[in-house]
Amino acid sequence: MFSIEVNDRAVNAALEAIAQRVGNLQPILQGIGEEIMERAKQRFSTSTGADGQRWQPNAVATVQALIEDVRGKKGGVQKNGNLSKKSQATLAGKKVLIDTGALARQFHVSSNGNSVTVGNSMIYAAIHQFGGQAGRGRKVTIPARPFLPVKQDGSLYPTEQAAILSALNDYLAGK
């Protein structure tokens, strides 16, 4: 049997740096979580899901509620009963899932050495992420509009998975 012990300072220093990096994953996990959060926030301005698909437009009932809301505001209606130009512009600029903007603002990230959590504190976030039945008697169908990169089965969408793997590889490479 033949063995060689390598005692090279540069190699040993590199191995020690890798061991320290792997021993404390909190910095990379926090960074990944913050990137996921930023991409989720961006989806609200593009109305495009983590799956790359455009979000379904607002339901007729939602649009009607928005119109009634605008009609009730001072200057919302002209003397002839039509919506004012300002009201029309307001309605035209309404994006899906953006009413007060609270859903897009309520993301949070937390990490430790073993995991990262990206969440949203709004109680209705999950129904918009995954879709489902809502309202009294669960008679209203809310379509899925995925803003987080997680499918209903817990797996990641491919583009998000690739971004996370790239960040992990860069971290291990010391970039």
Kindly give the parts of the chain with pLDDT less than 70: 1-8, 11, 15, 60, 63, 66-67, 69-79, 81-94, 96, 99
Residue 71 CA to chain centroid, in angstroms?
A: 32
- In a domain, residue 130? The reply is yes
Q: Which two tokens stand for residue 28?
A: 């990379």
Residue 28's nearest CA partner among 147, 163, 149 is 163
Q: Strands 116-120, 132-134: parallel, antiparallel or unpaired by DSSP? A: unpaired
Exposed e or buried b per residue across 6-38, where buried means at least 16 C-beta atoms within 10 angstroms of its C-beta: eeeeeeeeeeeeeeeeeeebeebbebbbebbbe
- DSSP for 130-172, written as a single string: H-EEESGGG-EEEPP---SSB-TTSPBPHHHHHHHHHHHHHHH
- In a domain, residue 65? The reply is no
3-state secondary structure of 32: helix
Cα dihedral value 138, 140, 143, 149, nearest 10:
-40
Question: CA 107 to CA 17: how far, in whole Å?
Answer: 33
- In a domain, residue 27? The reply is yes
- In a domain, residue 53? The reply is yes
pLDDT recorded at residue 35: 93
- Give the CA angle between residues 19, 25, 26 to the nearest 5°: 140
pLDDT recorded at residue 3: 47
- In a domain, residue 69? The reply is no
pLDDT recorded at residue 112: 85
- In a domain, residue 76? The reply is no
- In a domain, residue 81? The reply is no
Residue 104's nearest CA partner among 118, 134, 125, 133 is 125
Number of folded domains in the chain? 1
Q: Can you give the pTM of this predicted structure?
A: 0.74
Task: Give the residue numbers spanning the domain of 164.
Answer: 9-58+94-172
Cβ(129)–Cβ(144) below 8 Å: yes
- Give the CA angle between residues 110, 151, 102 to the nearest 5°: 55
- In a domain, residue 107? The reply is yes
